[in-house]
Each structure stands twice: as structure tokens, then as C-alpha cells.
Chain A
Amino acid sequence: MLKLGFFRERSIVERIRQNDRTVLGELFVQNEKMIGSYIVSHGGNDADAEDILQEAIIVLWQKANAEDFQLTSKVSTFLMAVAKNKWMAEMRKRKRWSNQEPDVNLPDESDSSLDALVSNERIASVKEALDSMNEVCKNILIMFYFEEKSLDVIAKELGFSNAGVVKSKKYQCKKALQERLQKMMNEVEREL
């Protein structure tokens, strides 16, 4: 039983490295109850629990793609540790916000709120621009910048001949994304 569990843990890391994205849902379902109960018992709600678990899974995904990563514990233990840290950081942030005195007479124009709004808007724009791009460009950009995969790995997974081709393709895609974002910003300005 112990061996079976060990092989199952290994297979999850291997599946992540082989870009098997179906493991994401499995990890969520397998750890939902454990992490959810922790978050709820520590002042969170179901939505917080879901978000924190997703963040933890993303961290595992990013870490597992690193070449020097070695899982020394069970996947669930790793996810639980990440979720605890994430939730503590989130709690600190919320505590910091709640300690500030709200001024009812003035609109909330603090930097953090504004930044968050701008950031959210910008993220939504980038996501929209990415979705409008072709699948290869979107995958290259997300795999390189978000998943932090090397060019060799991306070339292997996406079927390119070598890393150089991926590098030039990434450059083209990034330029195209910048142009799209600029175009979108111009449209927004025109509307305003």
C-alpha cells in the first residue's frame, strides 16, 4: 500500500512534467476536502479554500516543471504546506487592509486599491489579447512566462525542431501581443 502510494505520487510529478493537464482536476478533487477544511477552520470560506487550493496546485505545477525539483514528501503534504503559506499571506494582507481607518467622506483612492483595479483590468486585457491570438503563440507565451519552462522543453512539447525556433517564435508572439494590447488601449481611449 505504501509502495503503491509512492508510485502514485511519482506518477503525478511525471504527468506534470509530461504536460498532462488532466492531473490538475484530479489534484483538486483529491485535496479539496483536506485543504478546504483547513481554510474554513482558519477563518476562510469555501471560495477562499478553492482559490488557495488552485494557487497551491499552480505552484506544484510550476515547481514540478523545474529540472532540479524533487518531491521529498507526499503531494498532498506539499499542497497543504503551500496552501497554509498562501492562506497566512492572504490573512496578513486582509489584516493590513482591515487595520486602515476607512474615510466615508472620501472615495477610496488608496494606491493598493487603485493598483488592484488597474492590475485586474490590465490582466483582463492581456487575457483577452492572448485568447485572440493563435493557439501556438498563446501556448508559447504562457509556457515560457507563466509555467517557466525552458525553450528546449517547449520545443519538445510543441513539436518545434529546436529551442532557437521557439525563441524567434516567442519574440514574434510577444510583439504581436504588444501590438494587440496597444490596439486595444487605443480603442478604449477612442471610446473615452
Chain B
Amino acid sequence: MAEKMHFPEDVHEKYLLGELTDKERQAYEDHLKDSPERRRELEAEKLLISSIRAAGRADMKDEIRRQATQFKSRSASDMRDWTMIMKVAAVLCIAVIAPYMYYLSQDQFEMQNASVAEAPTPAMEKEAEFKAEGDLMAGGLADAAPPSRQQPAASKPAIERELNEAVAGRASSAEKRIRSNARTRPGEDRAENLAAAPPVDAAEPRPLRGKTDAIDKDLAKPAKDGLLAVEESAEEIAVLGEAASDDVSDLPYQATGLRKAGPSADPILGKAKKKKQELALESQIASSAAEDSEVSAGSGWAASNLDLNDEKTRVTEGVSYFYSNEQPPASSRRRDYSLQQNQIKSYDERSREIAGTLRHVFQAGAAVIGITFEVAAGASKSYSRSRKLFNFPLQILAFTTLRDSTRREMRLVVPEEFMKLNPQNMVVTLRGANDLELRINEEVVYDVNVESDSSRAILRKRE
């Protein structure tokens, strides 16, 4: 009994679970040998623990089986759900979204097609420019050519060929042809053309925006524009005259240089002399032709911007006008020029206003407004705004259209002094009612004072 009391009550459990030390276990086993009652207790404890373990094991097996069944059924139901969702999505996509997307894409496709169809392609633009230029040059050539060669259908390809040559940098041949025509042009032809041409007053205004059909029509009726053609011919002749004069004036300097170069330069000097004589002859012919022209240039200002040799400035097209700085006769009327894609609508001789599109007005100072003209397809601003700024009769003689990769610009070209500067990039800054600043090529700056009667402008080069 004393030994029994020695062991704690949970000794059976500790023995079965292996929680006794070796000494305790040995003592306990010795005690079991002498006590059958303790052995029964131990056996009962062992059965209980093993039963609990077995029950726990069975319980856990049931739980595993239940969870596995749930897991499988859940996976199956998940798959079923996803299958259902995918089916619904497929039906939606096929029945609703796909037709809608198709509809949208069709709509967008049509819009793109429309915009593409409306937008002129570079080839169209070039063709139109050639045609527009050809229209003007055809008039001149038609005047210059003998009556037998004044068939528009026959002259148009020749003009285009000339223009192609000019664009490719072979303008010299075109100029030679023009000079040749000018030399061979009999005075009777000019008189005949003038007689055949209808009076300017009777000429109907043509569509403002040039189209190829209109240009073709114009080409088919050169006589209708006879007066204009004669004017332009005279202008070109004057330009040639000036060019020839310049060349002649340059030759002495070149010759001086060659003389200094010594005997080796003799052949070159001989050629230069010969060329000088030719150019002097051409200059005389051109001057006489200009003087003979029915439409006189008045002061003789030649505003030519057809600088075909200047590839640096990329002048690909140009229109020359020849106007007087004197007030035009009261009988003159508004004349419309149709320049393909240029958005230049008209030029009024009386008011000397060019209807174009003012693209940029900027504040250059406290009382300084800068103006640049840009002519772009689809321009929305009208000239009326710029007319307010140009409320004095600035002698706008001509304009050029330059084209780069993104835009067209219209640049003002003013008196003949400027033409020698070849103004390709001019910004007109209005500083006061009669004061202007002209900045050319971003280098040369002129202060312009327009006289109160607007008859002329005084230009001073700023040092």
C-alpha cells in the first residue's frame, strides 16, 4: 500500500506514453510484478488510450473522406460554374459584342475612308500645283508662241515637261525656251492676241479654289484670259531682263578676277566675254519686249519669286504678279486667282488686299504685333482679321507659297528692293499705324514707314 502511494495516479498513463525516466520505469515495472491490481489498472488504461487513439483515427479518416468528397464536388461545381460563365461570355461575344465591334469598325473605316478621300494626296497636290503653274505659264507661252502653236492641247504637255525640268533643277532650259519664244514672237501676234481677248470687264469671275477641271478649262480657253496672260508674259520678260542685267553687271567683276588669275584663265575669260555679249543681247531684247508690252508695269517693279534655281529654299511653286505701286485705274476689277490647295482666294487690285488665311498673330512687344501668314489646307481663319491690321495699303506685290513637310506658308513679298534679298522668310511686325518692321530670313531687319497718303513706303535697313 505504501508502494502504491509512492506512485502518482497518472503513472500508468506516463508509462504507456513513455514519459517516465528509466529509473521510474524500472521501479514501476517492479511494482507491477507484485501487484495484479495495478496490472489490471494498467491494462484498462492501455485499452482506454488505444481506444481513444483508434477513435481519433477513425474520426480523422471520416473527416478526410468528407473533405475529399466536398473538395471534389466543389471542384466539379467550380468547373461547372466556369463552364457556364464561359458559355455565357461566348454567347455574349458572338451575339452582342462582335456585331457591335464590327459595326464600330465599319463606321470608323468609313470615316477614315472619307477623310482619306477628302485629303489630297501628295501626288494630287503636286499635279495640281503643276497644273496651276502650267495655267499661268501656258498663258505666257501662248502669247509668246506663233498663232499656229497656240493650241492649248498642244502646249500643255510641253509646259508640264518644262515644269518637270524646272523642278529637277533644270530651269535654265525652260528659261531659254521662254527667251527664245520672246525673241521670235512677232508683234503682230501680240496685237492679234490682244484683239482676240475679251475685255477684262467682261470676264466672269472664276471659282476661287482651283480645281484641275477648272484649270483644264482655263487651259482650253487661253483667249478668255488673254489680257492676264499678256500681263504675265510681260512680267516674266521683265524678270528675265532683270536677271540678264544682273548677270551682265556681275561679269566685269568675274572678268577682273580671271585677268588677275593670269594666262591660264584666258579660255575662261573668252567664254565669259562671249556670254556677256549674249546676255547683253538678251537683256536688250527683254527690255524692249517689256517696253512693248501692252500692260505696262508702271514703275517697272518686278516681283518674281519663281526662284527655280534655289533648291535650298525648296521653292517648288510660285506665282508672279506684276503690279504698279501707283493706284490702279478705277476701272480695274477684282480678279480671282485659282491656286490649287493654297487657300488664296483673291487679290483685289483696288484695295491691294490678298485674301488668304492669317494663321499666326503674335504679340511681339508692348505695342508690337507680329503677323505671319500661313496657308494650309483646311485653314479656318479668314483674312478679315488681318485686314484690320493691314489697314493701310501696304504694297503687297506678290506672295509665294513654300512648302515643307507639314505646312504651307504664305509670305509677303514687297517692293523690288526686297526682291534682291530673295525674301523667303519674312515676318511683318506692325508697330504703329504706319510703322512696320520687316524681318527677312531672320537676319535682315528693315524699319518701314508708310507715308500718310500710303503712296509709298520708306525702308531703312537697321544696322
Contact = CB atoms under 8 A, between A and B. Distances in A.
B51 A123 contact: yes
A130 B52 contact: yes
A141 B54 CA distance: 12
A66 B449 CA distance: 105
A58 interface: yes
Contact of B58 (A29, A50, A123): A123
A22 interface: yes
Contacts of A22: 67
Interface stretch (B68-76, B79-87, B236-244): B68-76
Given A174-B48, A177-B48, A24 B63 contact: yes
A25 B56 contact: no
B318 to A, nearest CB: 71
Nearest to A53: B64
A78 interface: no
A171 to B, nearest CB: 8
A25 B75 CA distance: 12
A179 B49 CA distance: 14
The SS class assigned to the A binding surface is helix
B64 A57 contact: yes
The SS class assigned to the B binding surface is helix
A127 interface: yes
B60 A28 contact: no
Contact of A24 (B49, B51, B54, B67): B67
Contacts of A25: 64, 66-68, 70-71
Contacts of A26: 67, 71
Interface residues of A, number: 31
Contacts of B10: 171
Interface residues of B, number: 25
Nearest to A50: B65
A169 B286 CA distance: 130
Interface string A168-184: 00010010011001000
Nearest to A61: B60
A145 interface: yes
Interface string B22-54: 000000000000000000000000011101111
Given A26-B71, A29-B71, A177-B48, A130 B55 contact: yes
A147 B49 CA distance: 12
A29 B72 contact: yes
A117 B300 CA distance: 136
A145 B56 contact: yes
Interface string A25-49: 1101100100000000000000000
B70 to A, nearest CB: 7
Contacts of B58: 123, 127
B57 interface: yes
B71 A54 contact: no
B161 interface: no
B59 interface: yes
A76 interface: no
A36 B52 CA distance: 28
Contacts of A24: 60, 63-64, 67
A21 B64 CA distance: 9
A97 interface: no
A69 interface: no
B61 interface: yes
Interface string A136-159: 000001100111000000000000
A126 B48 contact: yes
A41 to B, nearest CB: 21
A92 interface: no
B56 A146 contact: yes
A122 interface: yes
B55 A58 contact: no
A51 to B, nearest CB: 8
Nearest to B54: A123
Contact of A126 (B52, B60, B67): B52
A177 B67 CA distance: 28
Contacts of A141: 52, 56
A21 B70 CA distance: 13
The 3 closest A-B pairs by CB, nearest first: A25-B67, A146-B56, A126-B51
13 contacts: A24-B67, A25-B66, A25-B71, A28-B71, A29-B71, A54-B61, A58-B60, A58-B61, A123-B51, A123-B58, A127-B55, A145-B49, A181-B48
Given A125-B51, A126-B55, A127-B55, 7 more contacts: A22-B67, A24-B67, A25-B67, A29-B71, A123-B58, A130-B59, A142-B56
